[in-house]
């Protein structure tokens, strides 16, 4: 991290240190390195002594967790020479970030958000990984309601803003697609360049006049074995739901003025996002347990069919959260599209709408169903909203066939 004088952080809470500056920030005492500031958020005061034992240069027990981290993030951002790219959107934020980071690394020193670090805690922590020689920082911005993207943008002060798309996510809080688009478009108030979908009419009323807008459309794609060529660039993945994410990342790369890669790009995707694990008997586990919404669910099911290539398919589908009053209808629509899946296991009350062959109230209760129904040679998709916690089911699939 770019060093920050501790004098700038006084007044944020109880700050204990004899050091003059800190060179890193952690909220998990187990990750503390010498020179770090440990910020005791979410009950972390119980781990202050552990952080000191790990070499923390300073500890901060904040009066307001979010305000403290925002202030630290701003302090780092004000010293950074890196260009900041902020990515938001209803689907594909994290995968687009992963692809963009892989595209940038051969040409520039880049810091990218870990996993889905996209909120009031995760975004400042990403900024706190920026070093004096960092050239590009990629942050994610999630939201649960109006004003939250604006608040994150005021911390990150991004140069380039990317909106991957607008979909029926967070309807429970925002009520309509129009409101979702308006909330996502708060990012556009703070950037010099915007990278937007070519066909997304919901966004158009909220694009500021005079903004430099770069568009990405449905890309030209060719699949060659385990390689996908997207707009002339070779990637080491085949999932069709990554094609649009790759197109967005390539448009962002161009907006940054960086060249396209000459060889195949290998992307290390964040955990639980279409992670594939070989199973005994020629089977395959597709662990997509991080989150779900109707658009992403359809894409994952299409990928399941592609990867199965005639093998028996099992879909363990958790409910899709935050869809508001129409949530049952969205689940029933997905259920009507499951005819080609051999075995469907639903998890959560709303998952009854899938009309599954077997149903469990929660992830723990789904584990014995998986052990009973999954067979060697099956191709298994595990997908649901974060609140369902289906990663335990994915682990059970691996264990059941070990």
What is the DSSP secondary-structure string of 48-66? HHHHHHTT-SEEEEESSHH
- For residues 114 and 249, membership in a common domain is answered with yes
Domain that holds residue 247: 80-255
Q: Do 101 and 138 form a contact (C-beta atoms < 8 A)?
A: yes
Residues 6 or more apart whose CB falls under 8 angstroms from that of 34 comprise: 55, 56, 57
Q: Cβ(252)–Cβ(233) under 8 Å? A: no
Domain at 160, CATH number: 3.40.1190.10
Tally of domains in the chain? 3
Give yes or no for a contact between 373 and 398, defined as CB atoms under 8 angstroms apart: no
Q: Is residue 57 part of a domain?
A: yes
Residues 6+ apart with CB under 8 A from 189: 150, 153, 208
Assess whether 88 and 224 both reside in one domain: yes
Q: Per the domain annotation, does 263 fall within a domain?
A: no
- Say how far apart CA 321 and CA 359 lie, in whole Å: 17
Q: Along the chain (402 residues), what's the average pLDDT of each consecutive run of 10 residues?
A: 96 95 97 97 96 97 98 98 97 96 97 93 98 98 94 98 92 91 98 97 97 97 94 94 96 97 94 91 95 94 95 98 94 97 98 98 97 96 97 92 60
135 plus 219 within the same structural domain: yes
Angle at 369 between CA 363 and CA 374, to 5 degrees: 115
Is 68 domain-assigned? no
CATH number of the domain residue 351 falls in: 3.90.190.20
pTM, 2 dp:
0.93
In angstroms, the CA 398 to CA 402 distance is 6
Only one residue has tokens 């089977």, namely 283
Looking at the chain, how many residues does it have?
402
Same domain, 381 and 248: no
Query: 389 with 241, same domain?
Result: no
Q: 222, 255, 288: which is the final residue of a domain?
A: 255
Residues 98, 247: one domain? yes
> Is residue 362 one of the residues assigned to a domain?
yes
- Residue 116 has a pLDDT of 79
Q: What is the pLDDT of residue 399?
A: 83
- In whole angstroms, what is the distance from residue 125 CA to residue 130 CA? 9
For residues 251 and 279, state if they share a domain: no
First to last CA, the chain: 42
User: Do both 292 and 395 map to the same domain?
Assistant: yes
**Domain assignment of residue 74, yes or no:** no
DSSP 286-336: EEETT---HHHHHHHHHHHHHHHTTS-EEEEEEPPPS-GGGHHHHHHHHHT
Whole-Å CA distances, 72 to 44, 128, 155: 17, 8, 9
- Residue pointed to by tokens 């010293």: 79
| Contact partners, residue 9, CB within 8 Å, separation at least 6 | 15, 37, 60, 68, 71, 72, 75
Degrees (nearest 5) of the Cα angle 287, 152, 78?
120
Structure tokens at 115: 């996993």
Q: How many CB atoms lie within 10 A of CB 276?
A: 17
Shared domain for 122 and 211, answered yes or no, is yes
pLDDT value at residue 34: 96
pLDDT of residue 115: 82
From the list 160, 44, 318, the residue with the least C-alpha distance to 141 is 160
Tokens 């880049």 -> residue = 110
CATH number of the domain within which 24 lies: 3.40.1390.10
Q: Identify whether residues 27 and 86 lie together within a single domain.
A: no
Q: Which two tokens stand for residue 310?
A: 């005639």
């Amino acid at each position: 991290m770019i060093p920050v004088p501790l004098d700038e952080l006084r007044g944020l809470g109880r700050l204990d240190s004899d050091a003059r500056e800190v060179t890193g920030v952690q909220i998990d005492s187990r990750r503390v390195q010498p020179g770090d500031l440990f910020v005791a958020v979410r009950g972390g005061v119980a781990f202050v002594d552990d952080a000191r034992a790990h070499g923390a240069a300073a500890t901060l027990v904040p009066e307001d967790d979010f305000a403290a981290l925002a202030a630290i993030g701003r302090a780092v951002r004000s010293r950074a020479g890196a260009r900041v790219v902020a990515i938001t959107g209803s689907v594909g934020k994290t995968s687009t970030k992963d692809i963009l980071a892989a595209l940038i690394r051969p040409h520039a020193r880049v810091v990218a958000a870990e996993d889905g670090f996209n909120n009031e805690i995760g975004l400042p922590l990403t900024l706190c990984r920026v070093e004096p020689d960092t050239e590009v920082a990629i942050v994610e911005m999630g939201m649960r309601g109006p004003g939250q993207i604006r608040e994150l943008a005021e911390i990150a002060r991004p140069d380039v803003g990317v909106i991957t798309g607008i979909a029926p996510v967070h309807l429970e809080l925002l009520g309509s697609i129009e409101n979702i688009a308006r909330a996502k478009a708060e990012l556009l108030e703070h950037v010099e360049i915007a990278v937007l979908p070519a066909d997304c009419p919901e966004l158009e009323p909220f694009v500021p006049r005079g903004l430099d807008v770069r568009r990405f459309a449905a890309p030209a794609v060719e699949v060659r074995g385990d390689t996908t060529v997207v707009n002339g660039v070779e990637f080491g993945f085949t999932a069709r739901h990554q094609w649009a994410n790759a197109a967005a990342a390539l448009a962002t790369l161009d907006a940054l003025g960086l060249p396209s890669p000459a060889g195949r790009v290998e992307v290390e995707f964040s955990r639980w996002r279409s992670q594939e694990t070989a199973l005994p008997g020629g089977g395959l586990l597709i662990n997509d347990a991080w989150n779900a919404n109707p658009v992403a669910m359809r894409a994952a099911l299409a990928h399941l069919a592609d990867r199965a290539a005639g093998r028996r398919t099992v879909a363990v589908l958790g409910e899709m959260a935050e869809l508001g009053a129409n949530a049952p209808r969205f689940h029933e629509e997905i259920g009507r599209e499951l005819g080609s899946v051999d075995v469907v296991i639903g998890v959560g009350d709303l998952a009854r709408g899938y009309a599954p062959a077997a149903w469990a109230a929660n992830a723990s209760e789904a584990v014995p169903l998986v052990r009973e129904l999954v067979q060697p040679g099956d191709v298994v998709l595990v997908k649901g909203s974060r609140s369902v916690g289906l990663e335990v089911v994915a682990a059970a699939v691996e264990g059941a066939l070990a």
